[in-house]
């Protein structure tokens, strides 16, 4: 559905799609280039997209078909989103009791910096949107969700660093 969403906005080649996954979509959906091309072939075989022909440098843009748009609309209106979430940072936080507080703070500090950098990038992407077209307006919704999630992770990391600062060292725990 991510590929159909991208192609519905404008025809794109596999390379273009890979750039989107490294850009705007990096914040909400991960895909490797090795996944994109086989999926494009599958979508084309199912009649959901079609090649527009070969462009410069062998570029092969795909466009969405009416069947593809119908499939995308059905997915949007009749399928419940998958709300499962995998977040390795939070998973690791459950195990931070196994390391010294200073090591836990170092991990949390690096996560805090990572999320701050991503937030700056997300804001740059948001500012670059063309809100005069429907794709840009819809992209704003997704990017704003990313901004707010990153802001929450930053707030959590700041709180966690302060909390871990109060933890006794392992030596202090064993001598108590």
* The pLDDT of residue 26: 64
Note the pLDDT of residue 57: 77
Q: What is the pLDDT of residue 157?
A: 98
Does the structural domain 2-78 have CATH classification 1.10.10.10? yes
pLDDT on residue 87 = 86
Domain boundaries, the chain: 2-78, 88-175
Helices (H), the chain: 2-9, 14-22, 33-45, 66-78, 88-93, 101-127, 134-164, 170-175
What's this model's pTM, rounded to 2 decimal places?
Answer: 0.76
Find where tokens 């700056």 sit: 120
* 10-residue mean pLDDT series, the chain (176 residues): 87 85 68 82 95 79 95 94 85 94 97 95 90 90 91 97 94 81
The C-alpha angle 91, 96, 102, rounded to 5 degrees, equals 140
């Amino acid at each position: 559905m991510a590929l159909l969403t991208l192609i519905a906005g404008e025809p794109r080649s596999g390379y273009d799609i890979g750039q989107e996954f490294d850009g705007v979509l990096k914040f909400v959906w991960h895909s490797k280039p090795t996944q994109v091309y086989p999926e494009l072939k599958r979508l084309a075989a199912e009649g959901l997209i079609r090649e527009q022909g070969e462009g410069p440098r062998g570029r092969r843009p795909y466009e969405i078909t009416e069947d593809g748009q119908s499939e995308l609309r059905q997915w949007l209106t009749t399928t419940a989103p998958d709300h499962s979430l995998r977040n390795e940072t939070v998973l690791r936080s459950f195990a931070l009791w196994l390391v010294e507080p200073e090591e836990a703070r170092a991990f949390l500090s690096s996560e805090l910096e990572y999320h701050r950098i991503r937030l700056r990038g997300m804001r740059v992407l948001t500012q670059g949107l063309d809100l005069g077209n429907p794709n840009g307006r819809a992209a704003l919704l997704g990017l704003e969700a990313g901004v707010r999630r990153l802001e929450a992770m930053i707030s959590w990391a700041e709180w966690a660093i302060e909390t871990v600062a109060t933890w006794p060292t392992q030596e202090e725990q064993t001598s108590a």
